[in-house]
């Protein structure tokens, strides 16, 4: 009897200590049951709130992070907002992943590397849809609920994509980044946020969410963004006006999500990088001030467009479901920058390059349809998915860079200037679209035997 009482006393002490304080107790005097203790929290988010418990694994759907047999993490909205950078909205989130090194700090580009392979926003997925962003236009972080990052080969789970992604040409990406947009929650959201950063950048965000219907089956989430002012780099300025809307519907047999929006974004004076030329011995320049902006007069980048995604899941029976995913995006760009995106550093800190007038237009369309089945026999659980994909991309561009003489000159201390009269690009209507089409069929199977998973 005494052993049982001592065991009860130890249990009581552990429970009390976990609540944040300790009180004296005796095995002879503690009697009765403890009062009910209610602990509130979310099973969807891991302790700390920065990582989500379930990961999106391609056509296999959501799987608990601990059961995914490769390097994958899903970062929560808390991570996105905590590490938000107006100049590079997702860089702070990406930097939390040990396989990623953030590349160019320039607000004009989205370059980074994963496991040593150069990548950019062209490799992003949004709601499972690829190729709606590119090297110069990042994903709108203020619309995101979470970001999945897979480090390592994953193409087999994600269907067809565009072959050429800018920074790394046709090299296969070293991972996958999939962002999920904000849905309306059961709790109404009415939020207005202001941020001040850089030298004079003021950012304003409106986040509005409501659910409707007898059972709250309909949801609407609106995110509007306005940004204007000087960036941390002296002489650089950004303007950004965009609005995105997410509409979703859920019932017992189906779920549908429609996301879309328009963006209008411009950066003036946002430099990129320098490339080393042939420097003679004894003519290496001393380091300049880090505040120097090496953009030339009138260097600018402007882009605008719109995009949409559609996701639908339909329950066919207790073990079968069908899914459809699709997306469409249109993107136009106009920039004045150094040809090939960089200036050449020569003897004694001298800089040179060619002016480039570059105009482009692109359109991307993607569709995926498939079915999945989940069965369980004893302690063996099998989840199999079959999907077919169709991807179509077309683009056109005009570029005056190769026609211009070396008319950008200066040095790393006093900046760069445009000399002479530059040659501008021909009208973009004078060229036709180049096209690429890809089709794929994907079969994925996951077998669970007790605590063992086989993909």
82: Cβ–Cβ under 8 A, 6 or more apart, which residues? Answer: 50, 92
Return mean pLDDT, the chain: 81
How many residues are given for the chain? 455
Share of the chain above pLDDT 90, in %: 43
How far, in Å, CA of 31 to CA of 59, rounded?
54
pLDDT at 259: 98
Residues 321 and 418 in one domain: yes
Print the domain residue range for 10. Answer: 1-40
Measured distance CA(73)–CA(151) in Å, rounded: 9
Averaged pLDDT for residues 61-82: 70
Residue owning tokens 């995110």: 223
31 & 74 share domain? no
Same domain, 36 and 121: no
What does the pLDDT read at residue 193? Answer: 92
Do residues 24 and 70 both lie within one domain?
no
* 144-172 tens-digit pLDDT: 998 888 776 655 566 656 565 555 444 66
**Average pLDDT, integer, range 327-347:** 91
* Per-residue pLDDT at 242: 95
Percent of the chain with pLDDT over 70: 77
Domain total for the chain? 2
| pLDDT at position 52 | 64
Whether residues 30 and 151 share a domain: the answer is no
Q: Which has more confidence, 137 or 69?
A: 137
Residue 10 sits in the same domain as residue 52: no
Q: Please give the DSSP secondary-structure letter assigned to residue 39.
A: -
201 shares a domain with 260: yes
pLDDT of residue 8: 36
Report the distance separating Cα 117 and Cα 100, nearest Å.
Answer: 9
CATH number at residue 279: 2.40.170
pLDDT at 172: 65
pLDDT at 14: 36
Residues 261 and 303 in one domain: yes
Tracing tokens 């953030």 back to the chain, one arrives at: 102
Indicate if 298 and 385 belong to the same structural domain: yes
Computed on alpha carbons and rounded to an integer, the radius of gyration of the chain in Å comes to 27
Q: Are 36 and 154 in a shared domain?
A: no
Q: 369 and 433: one domain?
A: yes
Q: With bands split at pLDDT 50, 70 and 90, how would you rate the model's confidence at 317?
A: very high
Is 67's pLDDT higher than 70?
Answer: no
- Of 410 and 277, which is predicted with more confidence? 410
- The answer on pLDDT for 27 being more than 60 is no
* pLDDT above 80 (res 30): no
Above 90 in pLDDT, residue 190?
yes
User: Does residue 22 share a domain with residue 155?
Assistant: no
Overall pTM surpassing 0.85 (yes/no): no
What confidence category does residue 33 fall into, taking pLDDT thresholds of 50, 70 and 90?
low
pLDDT at 9 over 60: no
């Amino acid at each position: 009897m005494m052993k049982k009482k001592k065991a009860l006393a130890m249990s009581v002490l552990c429970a009390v200590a976990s609540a944040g304080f300790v009180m004296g107790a005796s095995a002879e005097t503690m009697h009765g049951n403890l009062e009910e203790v209610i602990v509130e929290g979310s099973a969807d988010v891991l302790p700390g709130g920065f990582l989500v418990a379930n990961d999106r694994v391609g056509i296999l759907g959501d799987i608990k992070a601990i059961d995914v047999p490769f390097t994958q993490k899903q970062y929560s909205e808390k991570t996105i907002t905590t590490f938000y950078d107006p100049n590079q909205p997702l860089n702070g989130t990406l930097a939390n992943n040990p396989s990623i090194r953030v590349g160019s700090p320039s607000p004009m580009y989205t370059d980074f590397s994963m496991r040593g392979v150069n990548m950019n926003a062209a490799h992003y997925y949004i709601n499972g849809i690829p190729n709606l962003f590119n090297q110069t236009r990042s994903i709108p972080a203020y619309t995101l609920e979470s970001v999945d990052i897979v480090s390592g080969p994953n193409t087999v789970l994600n269907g067809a994509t565009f072959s050429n992604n800018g920074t790394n040409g046709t090299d296969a990406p070293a991972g996958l980044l999939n962002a999920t947009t904000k849905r309306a929650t059961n709790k109404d959201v009415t939020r207005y946020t202001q941020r001040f950063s850089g030298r004079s950048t003021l950012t304003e965000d409106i986040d509005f969410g409501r659910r409707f219907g007898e059972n709250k089956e309909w949801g609407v989430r609106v995110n509007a963004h306005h940004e204007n002012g000087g960036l941390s780099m002296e002489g650089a300025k950004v303007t950004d006006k965009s609005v995105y809307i997410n509409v979703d519907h859920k019932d017992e047999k189906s779920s549908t999500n429609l996301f879309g929006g328009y963006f209008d974004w411009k950066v003036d004076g946002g430099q990129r990088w320098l490339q080393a030329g042939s420097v003679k011995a004894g003519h290496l320049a001393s380091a300049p001030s880090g505040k120097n902006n090496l953009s030339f007069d009138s260097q600018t980048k402007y882009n605008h467009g719109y995009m949409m995604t559609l996701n639908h899941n339909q329950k066919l029976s207790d073990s079968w479901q069908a899914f459809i995913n699709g997306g469409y995006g249109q993107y136009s760009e106009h920039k004045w920058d150094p040809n090939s995106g960089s200036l050449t550093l020569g003897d004694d800190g001298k800089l040179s390059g060619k002016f480039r007038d570059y105009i482009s237009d692109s359109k991307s369309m993607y569709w995926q349809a498939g079915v999945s089945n989940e069965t369980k026999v004893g302690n063996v659980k099998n989840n199999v998915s079959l999907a077919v994909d169709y991807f179509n991309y077309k683009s056109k561009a005009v570029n005056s860079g190769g026609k211009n003489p070396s008319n950008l000159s200066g040095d790393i201390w006093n900046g760069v200037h445009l000399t002479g009269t530059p040659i501008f690009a021909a009208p973009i209507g004078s060229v036709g679209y180049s096209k690429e089409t890809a089709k794929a069929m994907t079969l994925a199977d996951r077998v669970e035997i007790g605590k063992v998973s086989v993909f």
